[in-house]
Structure 1
Amino acid sequence: MGRRSDHSRPEIERMLVVEGHKHLAEVGFARFSAREVAKRIGYSIGTLYNVFGTYDRFLVALNTRTFQLWAKDLRTALDACEGDRIRCLVESYFQFAHANRNLWLAIYDHHLPADFVMPEEHDWLRSELTHIVVHEVTAVLPEAVKAQAPTLTRSLLASVHGHCVFDLSGSFTLMGQEEPVEMALARVRDTLAMAAATEDGQARG
């Protein structure tokens, strides 16, 4: 039986997010059950929908929590980094994905409806991860091309992400590739070098 009067709405929301995130980490997106999450905290599925409105909004909240943990993990890795911070970024990307496989994959397995509008607070929380990477990319670019850092970062993230997906899926193993992190890092260095070379060429011209 539900305990509808035991907690305030914000308390129930937090309980659902914490337990939902835990359940998602345990079983993965394909086997995730909102009903099971509600049951685990002693409430009905109706309560969950009263709080979040839709299943998609609930999943967005869970995935936003993953982004927050990811950003925290990345900051910790950079704080401990000695020397090559770009390497630390790439290695941390792979390490987080491997350590939180189900949570990481759920971010990309959950496809939102075309008309879904991301709540502003979730958009802001998720953007922290990209801001961290943009800051690091900006730091290694020549002054004349630093303004390109946000666009360049999105391209770099797409490249590293693709390598990471192939790594987790086992595709690289089937291809006989044994160092996916080094491959991703090489592509990142190539892209950064091309940006620097473009600036240098313009300066010479």
Structure 2
Amino acid sequence: MQELILAEGQRLLAEVGYAGFSAREVAKRIGYSIGTIYNVFGSHDALLTALNSRTFVLWAQTLHDKLAQAGEDRIAALVQGYFDFAEGNSNLWMAIYDHRLPPNTELPEQYRLLRAGLTNIVEEEIARALPHMGRATIAALTRSLVATVHGHCAFALNGTFLLLGEEDPRGAALTRVRETLAANNRAGAR
């Protein structure tokens, strides 16, 4: 039952986005009552958390696929994979950032681990590029670089970069990442 709900929920979320998403519509599409969905997931927030965590798994697979074909330029593959996933799955991607859990609500461990898988992929590649750095520094740098690429991607998708005259958001994101990695390589060589 859980898989049926998640599969249809993901289809609906991909079609209509976060603002148009309704657990009631998912129930209607699978031929069950809304009560069934809440019996399985407990709440609307729990359903969206499960759906967004499922999106993280798809996104991580996209990055793995890009890295498998990357050759030597694995950093470019990560940036391209980020943009490719967001552009190809914009409603799913945006739902991750549009849905917020109520205050003082922690993400369940099973979902935290699924979501961490995406960051771990990036962290491993940053560690490969900067072998002299410690893990804590790599983790902090990874978060900053993901935020950099995310910002470029979000501005590209929402039209802000177009208004700013940026014609190559992917290239700009990759350049910022490369600059940061080069600066950290120089600092580590000292």
Same fold (TM over 0.5): yes
Q: 1:81 aligns with which of 57, 64, 70?
A: 70
Q: CA deviation at 1:50?
A: 1.1
Q: CA deviation at 1:119?
A: 1.1
- Give yes or no for contact 1:71–1:129 (8 Å, CA) kept in 2: yes
2:79 is the counterpart of 1:93: no
Superposition RMSD in Å: 0.9
- Give yes or no for contact 1:142–1:199 (8 Å, CA) kept in 2: no
Equivalent in the alignment of 2:130: 141
Q: 2:179 aligns with which of 187, 190, 194?
A: 190
Q: CA deviation at 1:65?
A: 0.6
Equivalent in the alignment of 1:38: 27
Q: CA deviation at 1:104?
A: 0.2
Counterpart Cα distance in 2 of 1:42 and 1:92: 36
Higher-Rg structure is 1
Q: 1:169 aligns with which of 145, 158, 161?
A: 158
TM-score, normalisation: structure 2: 0.97
Count matched residues.
Answer: 189
Counterpart Cα distance in 2 of 1:160 and 1:183: 9
Per the alignment, in what secondary structure is the counterpart of residue 150 of structure 1? helix
TM-score, normalisation: structure 1: 0.90
Q: 2:101 aligns with which of 112, 120, 133?
A: 112
Counterpart Cα distance in 2 of 1:174 and 1:83: 34
Counterpart Cα distance in 1 of 2:131 and 2:114: 29
Q: CA deviation at 1:181?
A: 0.6
Listed as ranges, the gaps of 5+ residues in structure 1 are 1-11
**Where do 4+ consecutive residues of structure 1 move more than 3 Å?**
none
Listed as ranges, the gaps of 5+ residues in structure 2 are none
Q: CA deviation at 1:102?
A: 0.3
